[in-house]
A and B are shown apart, each in its own frame.
Chain A
């Protein structure tokens, strides 16, 4: 399943163990990460990279993917997409250790279009209507949380990975984006409101304070509460039990 010894890189003063699914993937990672490689035998893997597409006994394909611990960060039929996601993930981990700006890093998924971003609170494995999102020009950008400065989503400083040595194209650098909304996909098992207010169509019946506190707890800082409160006051927070409603909310927040 995984190559026995993880690859170890030093980023932001920290050692990060990365395991690969095959020897070929491990070779690619060593080419990409050459200048950051170190050799340690006591660093276990925190990140897992699978670039091969395999078939299970039931005939289902397991596509390339990137995991942080057990958390799915990215999944794509194109292994290069997964490596690009690895680049952004590692950049975030490095920046977290040595932050350039003192702004909250919020562990929410990021959906973006044309310089605008929506942050999504949904289980990592919950795949939304990817086809519908992609048709609308919307895409998820896998990264290590999201740095939010006011209502601006800040990019992490880029790493110097050797894409040429690996024979691959580098990812397009991310620029600052405007945070235009927050969407939460709440598992339906916890449906219902504790407020006594009847749910409105398409939402969970939460009050503005419910929605604000739900997102505010994702990063304990006054700056993040101000950002969340601003978005709530602008009716830019949606909480729903339904994937389709979450997609509709995202598309509505990121119009053409």
Chain B
């Protein structure tokens, strides 16, 4: 599984995108995770569903270090890639461009945490 995930990262990086955004924790947290996962009724500092918060950069930097593993219950990679009922966000999936950017950031070792 870990090998497949790493291969996916490398393939995504090799293919390239039209995305000018930089795969940094600041971009990932404030531009992608905050408006989707960090909605106030979900993983916000107000609600803290499952003990996770992404609504501010500060909260995301506290939450993300335990989610950078390639696999496992709290793996960010797993929850945004899994198909079926365990996918997050549950109702409104992340755009593939956002997923690619997160993959690129995770694949480079999640710098900035």
- The answer to whether A and B interact is no
